[in-house]
Structure 1
Amino acid sequence: MSTTDSKLSIENNPAAYIAIQQLVQRYTDVINLRNWKELSEIFGIDAVWKAPSPINLQFAGLEAILEGIPASVAKTEYLIQFATGVIIELQSDTQATVRSHLAEFGRFKDSGEKLEAVGIFRDIMVKQNGVWKFQERVFELRFPTRV
């Protein structure tokens, strides 16, 4: 067995790939629409959301995520995200690692400065009670710009 055969492929579990891709897109939709009630549907109870330096945000547990993400986004007049380049590696029928690329544009309420950022999300997703959810979501900022 080669190293490429050690992980499950889309051919073995196409439903998982579709559900995981949808989860990435759903997160972006929640942010863009500020539809905060859906956050609880896409993150696990003990999930973690992180954005290390230079952003320096971390929310551990669903309650912290439900408070922290909306509070962070509320600092902007608008914030629009686009997710692309989703790479899914199924570790098992109930766990996956995912990488996706993100571009976002917005404007801060307090200063009027525009926000343009490009980065990568590195995720661990788990299937709980038949539903895929984020277990860990880490945002790595690549190109920040405040205009």
Structure 2
Amino acid sequence: MSTSTEATAAAATQAAIGAYAQALDTGRTDDLAELFWPDGVAEIAGIGTFEGQEAIRKGYEAFAPTQPQLHLVANTVVTAVTEDEATAVSDLAYFQRGEAGWAVRMVGRYDDTLTRRDGVWRFQKRVTTFQP
């Protein structure tokens, strides 16, 4: 595999991860669902597993933000790349703004599989887990 293929997959992975956090924090569930393939899966520990774009959109609508929030994603490592698939792991910190200001509400991890179809990269599966 070429360095160019690896760089393209890594850039597409980073772009999808950033777009997901932005859409999640602003309650744009349609945009968030579009980041997944029609047969994509979003699995969130303690909340549920949503299969397909419509289920993902509806699932995320159930916890759309009611006050300012921010997901900071860091330490993303692309762990494997092929021509049409990339896997990555990332750390996350979830902040919410209340009367006392911003506070960390939880930390966790994303385990992602993205696939490329017709030159487009999207999430095939995203597993979200939280640290106690």
Normalised TM-score (structure 1):
0.76
The aligned counterpart of 1:103 is 93
Q: Return closer, same or farther for 1:137/1:13 CA change in 2, 3 Å cut-off.
A: same
Q: 2:48 matched to 1:57? A: yes
Shift of 1:10: 4.9
Q: Following superposition of structure 1 onto structure 2, how do residues 1-147 of structure 1 map, counting pairs within 5 Å?
A: 10=3, 12-52=5-45, 55-74=46-65, 76-106=66-96, 116-143=105-132
Contact 1:9 1:90 (C-alpha < 8 Å) held by counterparts: no
Shift of 1:50: 0.9
Task: Choose 10-19 or 87-96, whichever is displaced more.
Answer: 10-19
- Partner SS, residue 72 of structure 1: coil
- Identity rate of aligned residues, in percent? 27
Contact 1:50 1:139 (C-alpha < 8 Å) held by counterparts: yes
Largest Rg, 1 or 2: 1
Aligned partner of 1:40: which letter? A
For residues 127 and 66 of structure 1, the distance between their equivalents in structure 2, rounded to whole angstroms, comes to 21
Aligned partner of 2:50: which letter? F
Shift of 1:17: 1.2
Which stretches of structure 1, 4 residues or more, deviate above 4 A after TM superposition? 8-12
- Structure 1 stretches of 5 or more lacking a match? 1-7, 109-113
The aligned counterpart of 1:111 is none
Q: Return closer, same or farther for 1:39/1:93 CA change in 2, 3 Å cut-off.
A: same
- Structure 2 stretches of 5 or more lacking a match? none
Contact 2:6 2:81 (C-alpha < 8 Å) held by counterparts: no
Shift of 1:19: 1.2
Aligned partner of 1:82: which letter? L
Name the count of aligned residue pairs.
Answer: 128
Q: CA RMSD in A?
A: 2.2
